Amino acid sequence: MKQRSTLLQATLATTLIAAAGCATTVPYDPFKVSKEEFYRGTKTIAVAPISIPGDVGGPEAVKTSLESLVEAKLREAGFSVVQAKDTAVVFNEMNKQIGGVFDPVTGQRDDAKVKAAEEHTRRELATRFKADAVLHARLLPGTAGFGGGSAKWHGTSESVAMTEGILGAFQVNNLRGNIGTLSLLVVVENVQGNNVYVNLGGIQLLAKISGGQFVQIPRVQLLQNKERNVGAVNIALDPLVRNPASTEAPKTQP
C-alpha cells in the first residue's frame, strides 16, 4: 500500500496522546482488545508496506529492510505472515480498478476511494491468504525532551551530542530542551478495520547539538544504524512476543 492509510491518519493524534502515558505511573497497554481476544482472533497478519514521509526519505533498501524486520518479529511471535510485497499487490490491484485514489483534476486524495480500496484489500487478504489482521507501520517524526546529555522517547534513548566521548558530553550535560526524534508507529487492525494493537518504538534523533546549536542529521544518515532499526521494531512489537495471554496465544521463543 503506497498511500498513507486513513486508519493511520485517524489514529496518529490519539496514539501520541496514549504513548505519552508511558511516562506516567500507569504503563501503556498497546492492546486495544483483551489479549485473549487478540490472540484468539489473530493467527495470520498481513504486513502493509511501511510509509516513510517525504521529509525523511531513505533508499528503497532501507524500507525493505524495515519490512523484513517487522515480518521476522511477527514470525518470532508465532504468527503466520503475509509479506508486504504481497499486500501491496492486492492494494494496487484495487487502486488500479478504481482509477487511483487521487482526483485527476485537483490532485487531492479522494478519501472515499481510499476507504473503498482499503476495505477491498482487507477482504482480499482474508480470502487469498486467510489474514486475520493487517499491520500498518509508519515512520513518525516528533520531539522529545532532553537533559543530562541524552533524550529518551518511546522506549529508547540517545546522546544529543554531535561529538562522541568526554568532549561531547561536556558540551551538552547542562543543556535542557526539546529535540527532533524519529519513531516507528505500528497499528494492527482486524479485517473489520478496527484497531487491535497500537504501539511506538523510538528509532533515532533527527538532530544533534554541536557548539550549543542544533545540527540536523543529513537524510542520507537516517535509518543507517541497523542496531537502532532492530531496536525500534523490537520495542514496538515485543509485547506480542512476551505476553502470551492464554493457551491459544502464539508460542514464544524460550
Averages of pLDDT over runs of 10 residues in the chain (254 residues) are: 40 40 70 96 96 75 93 96 96 84 78 87 96 97 93 96 73 88 97 97 95 89 94 97 50 38
> Alpha carbon 230 to chain centroid distance?
12
Q: What is the pLDDT of residue 52?
A: 87
Is the Cβ–Cβ distance between 187 and 197 less than 8 Å?
yes
Task: Specify the 3-state DSSP secondary structure of 131.
Answer: coil
Task: Specify the 3-state DSSP secondary structure of 14.
Answer: helix
Q: What is the pLDDT of residue 212?
A: 84
* Residue 72: partners with Cβ closer than 8 Å, 6 or more residues away: none
Of 70, 189, 78, which Cα lies nearest the Cα of 123?
189
Q: What is the pLDDT of residue 12?
A: 40
Label residue 180 left, alpha or beta by phi (over 0 means left) and psi (-120 to 50 means alpha): beta
| Angle, alpha carbons 87-88-90 (nearest 5°) | 70
Provide the residue type at 21 as one letter: G
What DSSP state is assigned to residue 24? S
Strand partners, 146: 151, 177
pTM of the model: 0.82
Please, what is the end-to-end C-alpha distance for the chain in angstroms? 34
The CA-based dihedral angle spanning residues 54, 59, 61, 62, taken in that order and rounded to the nearest 10 degrees:
-60
Task: Specify the 3-state DSSP secondary structure of 9.
Answer: helix
Q: How far apart are CA 72 and CA 84, in angstroms?
A: 12
Q: What is the pLDDT of residue 237?
A: 97
Of 87, 69, 107, 74, which Cα lies nearest the Cα of 2?
87
